[in-house]
Structures are given as structure tokens and as C-alpha cells.
Amino acid sequence: MRRVAVVGVGCTRVGELWDKSLKDLIVESTLKALDDAGIEKIDTIYVGNALSQILQRQGNLGSLTVDVLGLEETPAISLEAADASGGLAFHEAVKAVKFGWADFVLVVGVEKMSDASSSEVAEALMTFEDQDYVAFTGINQAGLHALLLRLYMEKFRVKHEEIAMFAVNAHKNAANNSYAQFRSLINVEDVLKSPIIADPLRLLEYSTIADGSAAVILCPLEEAKKIKKNPVEVLASTIATDRFFLFERVDMLTFNSTRKAVKKALEEAKISLQDINLVEVHDASTILGVLSLEDLGFVEKGKGASFVAEGHISLDGTLPTNTFGGLKGRGNPVGATGVYQIVEMVWQLRGEAGKNQVGNAKVGLTHNLGGTGSYATVNILKGNLT
Amino acid sequence: MRRVAVVGVGCTRVGELWDKSLKDLIVESTLKALDDAGIEKIDTIYVGNALSQILQRQGNLGSLTVDVLGLEETPAISLEAADASGGLAFHEAVKAVKFGWADFVLVVGVEKMSDASSSEVAEALMTFEDQDYVAFTGINQAGLHALLLRLYMEKFRVKHEEIAMFAVNAHKNAANNSYAQFRSLINVEDVLKSPIIADPLRLLEYSTIADGSAAVILCPLEEAKKIKKNPVEVLASTIATDRFFLFERVDMLTFNSTRKAVKKALEEAKISLQDINLVEVHDASTILGVLSLEDLGFVEKGKGASFVAEGHISLDGTLPTNTFGGLKGRGNPVGATGVYQIVEMVWQLRGEAGKNQVGNAKVGLTHNLGGTGSYATVNILKGNLT
């Protein structure tokens, strides 16, 4: 087994990119990543996408990606794991390098959602849930998150204000991120006065519809050191699942996918949670952000909201979280999100995060969920290797 | 790198399986494969599917598959490469075993098409082609095949009768396959008198709408020898692509995806084409079957139709082809097809093919296309290892 490093990252702006097609997005992020790595040759491509077959009616993305990049001798593999598609593509690419299948691997996550209406998107997102027993009822993803939010507040006697602070932090961090969809500062009153989208969940608590693509280039660490002065090592990359239906789980407020994935990741990285300086968690909604911090083990179950409200997750807090705005602030182009998390973590670990640079960014964790926690990917990255 | 073997195979009947859900199909094929292998433990799952997110509105199949199989500690990866999704899932699973990522790997291909109308299916299949320039014109897959058929007949001065013989052979082989969708014997007049579906392509030349699932279990050859008396070795497994648009290729009648994939496969297997005793090729239509035999190198370009008409592809011919009926006879549950090809080849190589057993079945090749040849997977399998 070989040690694996990230040598190049790149991404497009996240937002309603009317003038860019799915292909344009793939090309833009990839060229940036190749440029960042300073290489031209790629051995294998992993593509993460969740919705294009529905929203653009475009499948077969492996072949399409090879074609638009003009890399016709390069095998390409397209993967889907709902919202965790980007995370899964990264995971498979890490395996490919680690186990010697390929030397230089491109991971590209892409999603284009704004061409569709919001109801079409809501419907498309429900393909991530069980059709026979969950989607069948007519509930949508926001509805499922609202259910968790209400349950959490009642079970742990937590105020909505505390949970809403997750979105305030997200927008604050996004404000300095030129790639972010939402760069406006908001306060907790703004969140709680915003329209209800599924009672009690408010509009400003929920990630929106976005287009974007992010790309990462991986290679063996030994190679990386030769071509890049500041490679970032992938200490661990794991995937895990939980019961498919939310309501078949022993505790709906605990995602075992996350718990299993982080446990395996810490073992693989041979570090403890205390060694992690900053995180990117899957805040598709405020409540998912809070639950994820708990499931990852950074704070006890039921204490996540006060942890957030006390400012621990801010850039100068004890656990800087979603430092470029996360799903809520940077935006959530679904199948690309897991790859955006890697790009942003790499910027932090290389000390290239500008105004949002975290002082002690040595080891970072990224966490990408699929469905309502039925799928999880966790990665642990380390910078400052010299 | 480890040598890889197939230790278990299983599949459902192919057809309009109204009483079986996507989940039922996955469970049935997997249980049969586990039973065949005589094992209970699986380390990793690869799922191949092309259309469920559109036709059942069911995505996130990795997580779903883990859940319905009750294998909650097992990571699952879902892949899509159009009609070659099953082939890609198998390829990724082979890599996982070969490079030491996992020991016992399940590959499951699944598709359920008959719930949808035929126009919905035709539309869904067009997600495999470029939306901006190809699907946009309103052409469907049958139309693209018809174009190739006309071009082939004109360029090589070949009679339609000769090409149509591919379907006659398919039905003849399917007649003895209790898993097949079409078990009726047909002759060349039947084919050419059947309705035109896209001039000049006839109904009986084209694979139809089908449900089905096939499963394969892989492990290192050394392990396989301990648990199974007749393991089948995977000598090679490759993927490759061609230009995404048919009309951007130098020669529309040559699929470079197939040519590249078979070249790499022969190198990997360290054998020549002459060592191959039988094949499963991707006959989504008669013309694709003929072109594939040529692109694989078994017959010169332009001579494939006469090769077929002369009976070389029959069970007692020089190159027994699609011995269980192929896509046309056995049926084509799209994302499962590549895995069905492996199941059937394994039966041949173990001498378990019943009435369709090929006498000298030692080394077999399977070939699965995605889109109109934009994606190809090739596998070379070997039996009689003792």
C-alpha cells in the first residue's frame, strides 16, 4: 500500500451559472486542478454526480468526461451515492492510488441544478430515499430534516436559536469566499424570521439549488513531493452506510453511517479525534450540521447545538467548521459537494485560505452524507508534511 | 497483484417480472450467488445499474443494496456507465480483489424496465447519448443503430439477411435457457418480416425491455481453490471509451472503445485472440453484434455479417457466440447485462451450460458496450484450472 497525496485542486464558482453547461463546469474545474498540480497526464478519472441523469437527462458521464477533456486513452468511472457522490468518487480514487492501480488520478464532482425548477429538484433529491415506503408518502428532503429538527429540540430541550447559529457561521465564512453562492452576513434573527419551508425548518437553515464542479488530483505521496512543494496527504478515506429508511433506525438522531465511517477513518489514520484541527461537515441543513458534529464524536449527543452557539465552530474557535461556508454558505451542487470539501480543506492545510485561514491547520476531516444519512464518507487530510 | 477468480454466480429470470421489485431482484440474484459460492461473508459490494433513478426514481443504490441484503457493515459502491454499467461494476470489483483492497466481493447488476412505458424507456436510454447535440435531435437508440445498419450494408455491400442471422442464432441459443426472455425459434424471414422500428432496423433485430438481476462473487484465486472445486479465473478486465458522439468518430462503423479494451485485455491476459474459444458480445441489435465481432478482432471489418451467416457463431461453430441468447434472446435488463454475460460465461467454463454447453470451453471473452459504443468493457475468463 502506498501513501496518497493531493497535488492539485480546482473548482468553479458555486451558484446559478446560467452560461455554463455540465461540460463547461467539468472542464473548468479540471483545468484548474491540472494547472495547480502542474501536470498534464492523468491515468484514471473518477466522476461524482448525483442528478444529471434526471435534471439534464445526461448519463454516461464517464465517457462524456473523457471526451470533453480530450483524454481519450484515459479510463473513467462514474459513481453515484446520492449527496455523497463526490465523496465516494474521491474515496474510490484514493483506493486506486493507494493500492497501486493508478498513479495520477483525477476526481471530478459536478452538478447542475439551476436549469430545473425547484419542484423538479425537490423530486430529484427524493430519489436518494426509499421509493416504496418513504418518497411514496410525499415527504421531501426538507421535510425529513424538519422532522429531525423537531425531534432534536424536543428530546434535548434545545432552543432553535442555538441550532440556527450553524447557518450564521456558514454565511460568515462564505462572505470571504469568492467561490461561494451566498456571501451575505446573516444573524440568528434573520434565520428564524425567514420563511418556514417545512415546519419548523426555516429557509435560511437549508442549502439551496446550485451549479458547480470541483476537481482534485491524487498521486502517490513520493511522487507528490517531487512535483509540489506543499502536497497534502490523505491519511484516511472511508465509506459506510446506515439503515436506508430513517424510521428503521434505533435512534433517528444518530447516523451510524457517520459513526462507522469516522471510527474506521481514525483507525486508518492512526490518530485520535483530538488531533483534528478543523472540519468540513455535511450541513445540508443546520440540524444535519449539528448532528454530524455529534456523530463524528466532537461533542456529546445532544450538546452539539450549544457547542455551535458557544462559537466553538467559528474560525477562531476550538473546532473551525465549514471554513469556506459549507453546504449552506458556499452552496451545495449535490454531486460535487464532497469534492468541494476536499478542495477547501487542501487550501487550509496549504495555508492558502486567505482571510479564512485557520491558524493551526495541520490535520483536517471532511464529512459528506448521502440521503438522510444512509451513506457517509469521511476523509482525514494532513498538510505541513515537511 | 493477486490472481482473481469467480466463485459464485446467480441470476433471476429475465423478462417482465411484474411481481418483483428492484429490491427483490437484487436479493434473489445475490442469494443464488452466495449459495453457489457456499459463503456468507462479503467484504465489499459493487452495484451496476443504469436506469433506476429515472424509471423507479430510485437512486442511492449502494445504500439500498446493503440494507436489503442485511449486510450493514459492508461498504457498497454504485456505478453507472450506460448499458455497460454491469460490466463496469464487475471491472471495479476485479480491481478491488486484484490489488488487495477486498477479499470477497459481490457484484450485482440490476435493472427493472417493464414498469415504464416503452416511450419512457426509449427516452431513458437516450440519457446515454450527448444531450446537447445527439438526443436533442429527437433520435432514439434504435435510430442510431438503424443508421449504422444502413451504413454497413451500403459500405460493404452486405445483404440484410446475413446481418439478421445474428438474431436467429440468439433466439436458438435462448430456447434452451430457462432464464431467457425469448425462447421462441425464429428464422431469417421472421426477422425481416417483423415491423420496422427505425428503417431499416426490424423489431426482431433489437433487444427489448426487460427486468432482471445477475450477481457474481469474486475472491483471490488462492482462496477460490480452497472453497470451490471449479473456480473460474479472471485473466483480464478492461474498460475504454470512444468519442462520445457517434458522428465525431473517424469511422462510425468502428468502435475504438472495443478495440482499445480488447487490446489491453489480451495484453493483460497474456494470450492471443486465437486462444479464445467462445464469446459474449453486446448485441443490443444485430448490427451491434456484427460490429462487435469485427472490433474485437475475430473477423475483418466488413466480413462480420458473412461470418455470422456462415454459422461460425453457432454452438458448434468456430466461435460460439452469445451461447445463452445474448441481449436479444436472453434479454437486456440494461444495467445488469454485463453481469449476466459473466454468469453465463462461468457456466460454460465450468461445464454447467446444459444443452448449450460448448465442447471446448476453456477461455471465454465477454464484451459489454455503453451508449452507442462510447464505453466498452472486456473481460477474459478461464476455466478448467486444475
Query: Where residue A385 falls among pLDDT bands split at 50, 70, 90?
Result: confident
* pLDDT surpasses 90 at A309: yes
Is residue A333 located within the same domain as residue A219? no
Q: What's the number of domains chain A is made of?
A: 2
- DSSP conformation letters of A53-94: HHHT----HHHHHHHHHT-TTS-EEEE-BTBTHHHHHHHHHH
Examine residue B22 and state whether it is found in any structural domain, yes or no: yes
Which residues of chain A are within 8 Å of residue B75 when distances are taken between CB atoms? Answer: 239-241
Examine residue A130 and state whether it is found in any structural domain, yes or no: no
Examine residue B130 and state whether it is found in any structural domain, yes or no: no
Q: A11-63, pLDDT tens digit by residue?
A: 999 999 999 999 999 999 999 999 999 998 999 999 999 999 999 999 999 99
Query: Where residue A384 falls among pLDDT bands split at 50, 70, 90?
Result: confident
Q: What is the percent of chain A where pLDDT is above 70?
A: 100
CB B228 within 8 A of CB B348: no
Is residue B163 located within the same domain as residue B62? no
Model pLDDT, residue A386: 64
CB B377 within 8 A of CB B338: yes
Q: Among A28, A37, A38, which Cα is nearest to A9's? A: A37
Examine residue A133 and state whether it is found in any structural domain, yes or no: no
**How many angstroms separate the CA of residue B158 from the nearest CA in chain A?**
31
The count of residues in chain A is: 386
What SS3 state is found at A36? helix
Q: B48-61, pLDDT tens digit by residue?
A: 999 999 999 999 99
Mean pLDDT of B86-115: 97
What SS3 state is found at A376? strand
Q: B59-86, pLDDT tens digit by residue?
A: 999 999 999 999 989 999 999 999 999 9
CATH number at residue B35: 3.40.47.10
Examine residue A246 and state whether it is found in any structural domain, yes or no: yes
Q: What is the percent of chain B where pLDDT is above 70?
A: 100
Cis peptide before A220 (omega within 30 of 0): no
What SS3 state is found at A241? strand
- Those of residues 190-249 in A touching chain B at CB distance below 8 A are 239-245
Which residues of chain B are within 8 Å of residue A100 when distances are taken between CB atoms? Answer: 1, 99
Across-strand partners of B48?
Answer: B79, B109
Q: A19 lies in which domain range? A: 4-117+210-227
To test the contact with chain B by mutation, choose from A24, A44, A60, A91 the residue with the greatest count of B C-beta atoms within 10 A, namely: A60
Number of Cβ atoms within 10 Å of the Cβ of B309: 21
Record the pTM: 0.98
Q: B116-152, pLDDT tens digit by residue?
A: 999 999 999 999 999 999 999 999 999 999 999 999 9
Q: Among B261, B267, B294, B293, which Cα is nearest to B370's? A: B261
Q: How far apart are CA B343 and CA B381, in angstroms?
A: 11
Q: B296-307, pLDDT tens digit by residue?
A: 999 999 999 999
Model pLDDT, residue A144: 97
Q: How far apart are CA A376 and CA A370, in angstroms?
A: 6
Which of B166, B200, B227 lies at the terminal end of a domain, its last residue? B227
Closest A-chain CA to B241: A63
Is residue B107 located within the same domain as residue B163? no
Cα–Cα distances (Å) from B171 to A374, B175, B184, B208, in that order, read 43, 6, 6, 13
Q: Among A319, A306, A307, which Cα is nearest to A358's? A: A319
Which of B227, B255, B283 lies at the terminal end of a domain, its last residue? B227
Q: How far apart are CA A7 and CA B32, in angstroms?
A: 44
Q: Among A174, A172, A207, which Cα is nearest to A327's? A: A207
Cα–Cα distances (Å) from B249 to A72, B104, B120, B254, B261, in that order, read 12, 40, 28, 8, 17
- Those of residues 91-110 in A touching chain B at CB distance below 8 A are 92, 95-96, 99-101
**How many angstroms separate the CA of residue A180 from the nearest CA in chain B?**
27
Q: Please check whether residue A111 touches B, CB under 8 A.
A: no
What SS3 state is found at B163? helix
Is residue B186 located within the same domain as residue B308? yes
Examine residue B127 and state whether it is found in any structural domain, yes or no: no
Mean pLDDT of A309-328: 98
Is residue B316 located within the same domain as residue B182? yes
* pLDDT surpasses 70 at B386: no
Query: Where residue A180 falls among pLDDT bands split at 50, 70, 90?
Result: very high
Model-level ipTM above the cut of 0.95: yes
Which residues of chain B are within 8 Å of residue A240 when distances are taken between CB atoms? Answer: 75
Contact B131 A58 (CB under 8 A): yes
Examine residue B128 and state whether it is found in any structural domain, yes or no: no
**How many angstroms separate the CA of residue A384 from the nearest CA in chain B?**
28
Is residue A71 located within the same domain as residue A152? no
Q: How far apart are CA B337 and CA B353, in angstroms?
A: 18
Is residue B89 located within the same domain as residue B153? no
Mean pLDDT of A324-351: 98
Q: Please check whether residue B119 touches A, CB under 8 A.
A: no
Which residues of chain B are within 8 Å of residue A73 when distances are taken between CB atoms? Answer: 260
Mean pLDDT of A307-321: 98
Q: Please check whether residue B116 touches A, CB under 8 A.
A: no
How many CA atoms lie within 13 Å of B237's alpha carbon, on the beta-carbon side?
Answer: 27
Closest residue to B132, CB basis, from A21, A99, A131: A21
Q: How far apart are CA B109 and CA A65, in angstroms?
A: 23
Which residues of chain A are within 8 Å of residue B127 when distances are taken between CB atoms? Answer: 53, 57-60
Q: How far apart are CA A196 and CA A202, in angstroms?
A: 4
Q: How far apart are CA B8 and CA B4, in angstroms?
A: 13
Q: How far apart are CA B99 and CA A1, in angstroms?
A: 9
Closest residue to A241, CB basis, from B63, B126, B374: B63
Instruction: Output the CA torsion B255→B257→B262→B263 (10° steps).
Output: 100
Q: Please check whether residue A374 touches B, CB under 8 A.
A: yes
- Those of residues 301-360 in B touching chain A at CB distance below 8 A are none
Contact A58 B375 (CB under 8 A): no
Number of Cβ atoms within 10 Å of the Cβ of B325: 28
Which residues of chain A are within 8 Å of residue B61 when distances are taken between CB atoms? Answer: 80
Is residue B204 located within the same domain as residue B215? no
Closest A-chain CA to B238: A75
Contact A63 B21 (CB under 8 A): no
Q: What is the percent of chain B where pLDDT is above 90?
A: 98
Q: DSSP character for B274?
A: G
* pLDDT surpasses 80 at B316: yes
Closest residue to A371, CB basis, from B54, B56, B60: B60
3-state secondary structure A105-154: EEEEEEEECCCCCHHHHHHHHHHHCCCCCCHHHCCCHHHHHHHHHHHHHH
Contact A82 B67 (CB under 8 A): no
Q: A264-283, pLDDT tens digit by residue?
A: 999 999 999 999 999 999 99
Contact B241 A75 (CB under 8 A): yes
Is residue B52 located within the same domain as residue B164? no
Which of A200, A227, A254 lies at the terminal end of a domain, its last residue? A227
Q: How far apart are CA B254 and CA B294, in angstroms?
A: 8
Examine residue B133 and state whether it is found in any structural domain, yes or no: no
What SS3 state is found at B236? strand
Q: Among A205, A214, A216, which Cα is nearest to A179's? A: A214
Distance of CA A221 to the CA centre of its chain: 23
A to B CB pairs, distance under 8 Å: 161
Is residue A158 located within the same domain as residue A94? no
**Mean of the per-residue pLDDT values for chain A?**
97
* pLDDT surpasses 70 at A343: yes
Contact B374 A61 (CB under 8 A): no
Q: How far apart are CA B77 and CA A281, in angstroms?
A: 21
* pLDDT surpasses 80 at B310: yes
**Mean of the per-residue pLDDT values for chain B?**
97
Is residue A154 located within the same domain as residue A51? no
Across-strand partners of A219?
Answer: A5
Is residue B177 located within the same domain as residue B323? yes
